[in-house]
Structure 1
């Protein structure tokens, strides 16, 4: 079954393709969607639904989309829904990480969690799946793998940041991996 993952982020697309090997998962570019779909929702769930509905309505494909937020306890849940644009519209991961590390300078409470909301639009129905990965923000960047905030996020029970893990290890414990597992279980129960 062909399903669109509503992203132009090739790293995210690869991660989801690896997690859903029994689907033909394609990105926005593959269906000719060059638009930057606006994320105008106030929550991760709303943004995920907006993107999935956009693809279904405009292109007619079943679609999954996600929105992910890094929620830092000492910053009252920020950057949250603004995670990708924390340092501005450039979405520059290094600037985002530098800003976050600067905000936490001298702060002993480094607790944080990644939260992902995945929206699935399947024919005429819509579903949402959530994944959470608790951990902490490191004091400096560690590792070269992954993307986004991976070099400064260390999940609970791990000595490594996401950026130090291989994609399979990260996929088993990450927020997106957890949400995708819920999606897979759902798809298997309806035998789609």
Structure 2
């Protein structure tokens, strides 16, 4: 099987494309009656579905991975552990699952990219859900120690009360687009037309 597209996508860190590449290769192999062996990048395949936040596809993929492969490739189980934490909404457990395993170089780049993306998602969740939050809870959600979590929040414009160890969320003003109602535009056009004639 030709893994060159996968290799190129990994090299260029195009993680959002890798799930589609792997899915296509897997379907191609199935249509040609080729059994996937131990050389199939199961862990990468799982991790990129997790990266693009497609947990349902990751669950399905994990179910079809042969038990023998799961036993021989602990990285597959480690990847799925991240998926399980996401599925169960155990937000702090996601970071623990990432740190618990010594990832291969190929998987490490995907895991690092996912970890960064996941931290940003969690921060956005905190931003939308809280007006104040403890440093301890922030650290739990962001998968950091308390000092790093406080510094991260402060860099994003939040403020901290050192006495209570509470962070105050700085909600950015959201620019809203005005939506143009086509019927209003039509009436305005007709009005201007009548003024000219």
- Regarding TM over 0.5, the answer is no
More strand by share: 1
Q: Higher relative CO (CA 8 A, sep ≥ 6), structure 1 or 2?
A: 1
Larger gyration radius, structure 1 or structure 2: 2
